[in-house]
Chain A
């Protein structure tokens, strides 16, 4: 136990020592992302806004009947899910992309993974302005309790760090992960109520909860974060959704588990990276 504690203190000390590097890497990613584009950082806001518009136009007739304030509903799910997808996709190749550097100098290897997850987090936070715009446009009142969204956001970040570390480590040994992951996120997106709601699973004549809905409610972490977030933005939880307090707890639990899985996977394989990159 004492040994573990010392180990963790050691990690924190190295992280602190390399914090300037982390900050620089994040700055570099953001700087290079929009270098040479006319609208630059504005894209962080325009992108979610435009994709929300496209989805709203496509899906309004099909799914929106029973969903209150469909544009806000859509954009909440969209920006959170996009963050997860972007950060995990980038974290996945973060170790192998820095192969040449890792072969020539010593840096804690997780720095690159962490920096990718954090730089997409920064654009995610920027993209919140798109949400604010849609909220104003559709007349959603702002309340202090909106600020509670910080809870699901933190949970999502911790979850993304765990997932990213896991994927970054696994990809070193199995490059197939790169292709596989885009399929997985696609399936995951359809299994997450982003443009539909859980209500669409219910049959009007039976009171039973359908299996698909149970699986999503219990086992889809993205559902936990997105639904919490929506409830805090819209101040409203329909009867078929899981109550927010429960989601907060479940979400926290899942993110901590994911973080541990990520750290353990990464840490137990990191010494072998050099032989495979």
Chain B
């Protein structure tokens, strides 16, 4: 899937004819009896559903891309494809560099463990070494402002606190590629502003950003490129302002 060597030097993400297919079986067949019954009755056909259709996109280092479009247009699917959570059904996806995926903040928190234990768990899920987390532990706690609650199991945390902690862990190391999928909406205004500032800092240091948000103001402020997705196809690429213009002209 990753033939990174073929990439030009300054390209960090390249999708070529990428297609993602989901099986939309009438009902999910996930047990043997049903499987055989359907196999014998020859009912085992799946309705194909293409979440992304032949998408081509090249993203260069340091660019900040916004993906815009309606719900179900394939924005999250595309992010998942780039994060390697999904494999393409057809086409290729090449990615160079480390990714900080923020598809959901604090994915992988274990509710029964304390915040401290979860920082280590979540950090290693992101591919940090234990040593790295130890060295940057204070930084994470400072950013999340959770000094008093470190001994508390995560299940007693509010969703905002959890998001703060998740964001702090994901951005403590400067990633080559930062992927943000509508995760900042849960936090309060102060937290959003803080995250905004942190993302800007990372951008200034040369991180590539992929951003999905329905917050137009934030998109226009952070991003310099945008792609408009509709029903799994890229309809338009250009500057965010142009993309919004094209997108909004259809809605109205």
Contact = CB atoms under 8 A, between A and B. Distances in A.
Interface of A is mostly: helix
Contacts of A274: 85-87
B84 to A, nearest CB: 4
A83 B196 CA distance: 50
Nearest to A274: B86
Interface stretch (B61-69, B121-129, B209-217, B233-241): B121-129
B182 interface: no
Contacts of A107: 108, 125
Interface size class of A (residues with CB under 8 A): 20 to 34
A104 B101 contact: yes
Interface stretch (A37-45, A168-176, A210-218, A234-242): A168-176
Interface string A100-127: 1111111100000000000000000000
Contact of A28 (B28, B32, B121): B121
B30 A17 contact: no
Contacts of B104: 104
Interface of B is mostly: loop
Interface stretch (B112-120, B185-193, B200-208): B112-120
Interface in A17-39: 17-18, 20-21, 23-25, 28, 32, 35
Given A104-B103, A104-B107, A24 B87 contact: no
A275 interface: yes
Nearest to A104: B107
Contacts of A32: 112-113
Given A176-B31, A276-B30, A102 B85 contact: yes
A20 B129 contact: yes
Contacts of A18: 124, 127
Interface centre among B30, B33, B126 (most CB of A within 10 A): B30
